[in-house]
Amino acid sequence: MDVSSVRSLFPQLQESVYGKPLVYLDNAATSLRPLSVVREWDEMSLKHNSNLHRAVHKTAVDATERYEAARAAVASFIGSASPKEIVFTSGTTQSINLVAACLENAGFFSEGDEILIAESEHHSDIVPWQLVSGRKSLKIKILPVKQKGEIEIDKLPALLTSKTKICCVAQVSNVLGVINPIKEICEICHANGTLVLVDGAQGIAHLTTDVRELGCDFYAFSGHKMFAAPGVGVLYGRQPLLESLPPYMGGGEMIESVSWEKTTFAPVPGRFEAGTQNISGVPTLVPAIELCKRLKTSEIEKEQAAIKNYILDAFAEDADITLYGNPAEREKKIPLFSISVKGAHHEDLALILDKMGIATRSGQMCAEPLMDRFGVTGMLRASFVPYNTLDEAKYFVECLKKAIKMLK
Ligand code: PLP
Q: What is the pLDDT of residues 241-300, one digit of tens each?
A: 999 999 999 999 999 999 999 999 999 999 999 999 999 999 999 999 999 999 999 999
Q: Which residues contact 260 (CB under 8 A, 6 or more apart)?
A: none
362 has a pLDDT exceeding 90? yes
Residue 354 to residues 16, 297, 339, Cα–Cα distance (Å): 11, 31, 16
> Of 111, 120, 129, 133, nearest to 218 (Cα)?
129
Residue 52 confidence (pLDDT): 95
Backbone angles phi, psi at 116, to 5 degrees: -105, 125
% helix, strand, coil for the chain, step of 5:
45, 20, 40
Q: How far is the CA of 408 from the centre of ligand 1 (A)?
A: 33
Distance CA 395, CA 13 (A): 15
1 has a pLDDT exceeding 90? no
Residue 390 confidence (pLDDT): 98
Contact 284, 40 (CB under 8 A): yes
Is the omega angle on the peptide bond into residue 269 within 30 degrees of 0, that is, cis? yes
Residues within 6 Å of ligand 1 by CB: 29, 91-93, 122, 124-125, 170, 174, 199, 201-202, 222, 366
> Which one of 167, 189, 366, 399 is the catalytic residue?
366
Q: Provide, rounded to the nearest whole percent, the portion of the chain with pLDDT above 90.
A: 99
* Averaged pLDDT, 127-156: 98
Residue 191 confidence (pLDDT): 98
Q: How far is the CA of 174 from the centre of ligand 1 (A)?
A: 8
Supply the pTM of this predicted model. Answer: 0.98
Interval 81-102: pLDDT, tens:
999 999 999 999 999 999 999 9
328 has a pLDDT exceeding 90? yes
- Kindly give the residue spans of alpha helices, DSSP state H, lying in 10-153: 35-46, 58-77, 92-105, 127-136
Strands 114-118 and 86-89: unpaired
366 annotated active-site = yes
Average per-residue pLDDT for the chain? 97
Q: How far is the CA of 124 from the centre of ligand 1 (A)?
A: 6
> Of 225, 256, 284, nearest to 95 (Cα)?
225
Residue 58 to residues 47, 63, 279, Cα–Cα distance (Å): 11, 9, 15
Domains recognised in the chain with CATH numbers: 3-32+297-407 (3.90.1150.10), 38-291 (3.40.640.10)
408 has a pLDDT exceeding 90? no
Amino acid residing at 200: G
